[in-house]
């Protein structure tokens, strides 16, 4: 009897449980659930456990349009509208909204640049102090690499800022 229980336990542990995923419309929005109801259909989600750089695998995904507007744009003077391109949703942003985004992005990049420059100064001081203290070659190499990394980060941030 014990052998049978062990066998059944091992067998049930080896079986995979497949829970269905369903796509339902609720209040004009797409909702995903594991409980099927009247207006639900099987969701074709593909293989969720792997990554692919092939974007055509996601061509079936679309963002539903609001039922209050036939074009999908905000009727209250909103900053964007949705349009489909090659089966995917593309966001159209007004010039004002884009300018606000650019300003925010520039501000973030400038803060990151200031932080990296401070870190570079600190790493350079640490390297100079280590050379003066005649640290081991391994310690000097690690500090030189830290300085080099910071220099590369500063250069990358400056390049990104110049593209704006």
Average pLDDT, the chain: 75
Burial status of residue 97 (CB atoms within 10 A of its CB: 0-12, 13-18, 19 or more):
middle
The pLDDT value given to residue 30: 80
Q: Residues 91-125: pLDDT tens digits?
A: 788 999 899 999 999 999 999 999 999 999 999 99
Mean pLDDT of 125-132: 95
3-state secondary structure of 53: coil
Domain spans in the chain, listed from the N-terminal domain onward: 64-93, 98-162
């Amino acid at each position: 009897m014990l052998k049978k229980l062990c066998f059944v336990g091992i067998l049930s542990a080896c079986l995979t449980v497949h829970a269905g995923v369903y796509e339902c419309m609720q209040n004009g929005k797409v909702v995903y659930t594991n409980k099927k109801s009247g207006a639900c259909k099987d969701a074709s989600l593909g293989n969720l456990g792997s990554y692919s750089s092939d974007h055509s695998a996601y061509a079936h995904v679309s963002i539903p349009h609001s039922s209050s507007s036939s074009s999908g744009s905000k009727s209250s003077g909103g900053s964007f509208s949705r349009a489909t391109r090659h089966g995917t949703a593309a966001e159209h942003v007004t010039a004002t909204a884009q300018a606000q985004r650019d300003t925010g992005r520039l501000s973030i990049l400038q803060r990151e640049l200031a932080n990296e420059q401070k870190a570079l100064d600190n790493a350079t001081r640490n390297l100079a102090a280590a050379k003066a203290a005649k640290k081991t070659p391994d310690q000097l190499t690690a500090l030189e690499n830290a300085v080099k990394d910071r220099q590369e980060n500063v250069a990358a941030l400056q390049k990104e800022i110049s593209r704006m």
